[in-house]
Amino acid sequence: MKKVNIKEKLSLFNDFWEPKIVGELNQQTVKLAKLKGKFVWHQHENEDELFMVLKGCLIIKLRDQEIELNEGEFFIIPKGVEHLPIAKEEVHVMLFEPKETINTGATASEKRVIDIETI
């Protein structure tokens, strides 16, 4: 068992939209990611996804509304809900999602990450 220092882990990478695994619990992964710009419209058919903003402001567009998340806030996207994350400036997030979750869902994209690095 080891404690995790979030700031230290975030200092280990600079790539945007490439989450890193920092922990696992109950078949779920805890990931950190740096985001900037627009991602892609996508959905996860079988998994809920939690975005928690650690730094900055993240906009999550849904087809019928827009959610603005600021530092210290989180939002859970239910499975099957199409969404588009947007970070106008650099944003740091923590994600909680099942191990099998692919960041772009079934949407083909150059931003798809299959083998997520553990740091």
**Domains of the chain by range and CATH?**
6-98 (2.60.120.10)
Burial of 113 (0-12, 13-18, 19+ CB in 10 A): middle
Of 6-10, 26-30, 109-113, which gets the smallest average pLDDT?
A: 109-113
Per-residue model confidence (pLDDT) at position 103: 60
pLDDT in tens, 69-117: 999 999 999 999 999 999 999 999 999 887 766 665 666 667 666 677 7
* pTM to 2 decimal places: 0.86
Average pLDDT over residues 17-38: 94
Write out pLDDT tens, residues 10-20.
999 999 999 99
List the alpha helices (DSSP H) in 1-119: 6-10
* Residue 9 φ/ψ, nearest 5 degrees: -65, -40
Which structure tokens are listed for 114?
């299959």
